[in-house]
Amino acid sequence: MKRAFLILAALFCIVTPLSAQTTVTGTFLTASGQTPQAANLRVLQRVAGTNVCGQIDLVPYNASVQQPWSILWNGVTYSPQNVRGWIRCSDGAWINSTGALGVAFIPTTDAQPSGTLAWFRGSMTGSTNGAIQPVAWSLAKAIPDQSSVDWGNLPVASIVNVGYQTIESNGVPLMVRTIQNFSGPGVACSDNSGLSRTDCIVSGVAAYSANESSATTWSIPEATHGLGANILVALYDSSGNRIDPDTLVVDSSGNVTITWAVAQAGRVVISE
């Protein structure tokens, strides 16, 4: 009986392929060596009850064609989809959607096509006082076929040009993302090669914009904005981040009343 069991166990090991992915961990600090929390970076969101101040995406990347690419590993094809993680505010640790350390990723060193890498796209928020700006960076590394690895200990295989580094709203930097979307009537974007930037112009849309001092109620009469009652209202804090009030009322005449539980300063933008 014992011999039969050993034979079956050996056969199981032979026919069962290795399938464990590599857990990729890491720690990310500001340029001054502070944790996000110590540097007073803004909280991006909460993940599994934990404040996070940054976001990380990993995707299989083919360096020869310089774009995400499906890979073959242990007889299975893996699509070039993002594996998302976050940067914990308290210590800068890389966590997954459950709040645990690290994310699971397919090893690339023994995957096909040969030379496949893991393309890393990271971003962190800016500080609450504006002293530290939001940032994004991107690079590619090879992931070894082992149980776990620290991203910081892996050599850089390629620096990936991510294009945009900063998106500004009227000169105020916004949280860095990998995609920028413009929508709505009158939006037209074009490449400005002379200034090495993309220019987006919104034309043909009447709008009102004004800064509001700190108060629990913002009142903008229709006589002030002059756009009638069929309007859209957007609100921003002093750093240019979109914010939501406790109440926002537009009456039948177009008068706008905005209330806050705590006094708030910022900017109101009204458009047709």
Token pair belonging to 97:
């959607």
Interatomic CA distance for residues 240 and 174, integer angstroms:
7
Domain extent listing, the chain: 20-173, 207-271
The percentage of residues in the chain with a pLDDT greater than 90, rounded to a whole number, is: 52
| Buried-state track 138-147, b at ≥16 Cβ within 10 A, e below 16 | bbbbbbebee
Q: Is 180 left (phi over 0), alpha (psi -120 to 50) or beta?
A: beta
Q: 245 preceded by cis ω (within 30°)? A: no
Is there a contact between 235 and 270 (Cβ–Cβ < 8 Å)? no
pLDDT for residue 5: 44
Q: What is the 3-state secondary structure (H, E, C) of 68-83?
A: ECCEEECCEEECCCCE
- The residues facing 84 across adjacent strands are 57
Euclidean distance between CA atoms 188 and 182, whole angstroms: 8
3-state class (DSSP) for residue 153? helix
Per-residue pLDDT tens digits for 131-182 = 898 998 888 999 999 999 999 999 988 655 555 656 776 666 676 665 666 7
Name the phi and psi angles at 12, rounded to 5: -60, -40
**Rounded-to-integer distance, Cα 115 and Cα 271, Å:** 51
Q: How far apart are CA 139 and CA 119, in angstroms?
A: 6
Contact yes or no for 46/86 (Cβ under 8 A) = no
Q: Distance of CA 73 to CAs 61, 67, 115, 130, Å?
A: 14, 18, 13, 45
DSSP 152: G
In sequence order, the β-bridge partners of residue 4 are none
pLDDT in tens, 111-143: 999 889 999 999 999 998 888 989 988 889 999
Backbone region of residue 269 per phi and psi (left: phi > 0; alpha: psi in -120 to 50; beta: other values): beta
Q: Tokens in use for 81?
A: 């989809």
For 14-69, write each residue's pLDDT tens digit: 443 445 799 999 999 999 999 999 999 999 999 999 999 999 999 998 877 778 88
Mean pLDDT score of the chain: 84
pLDDT above 70: residue 195 = no
Higher pLDDT, 79 or 188: 79
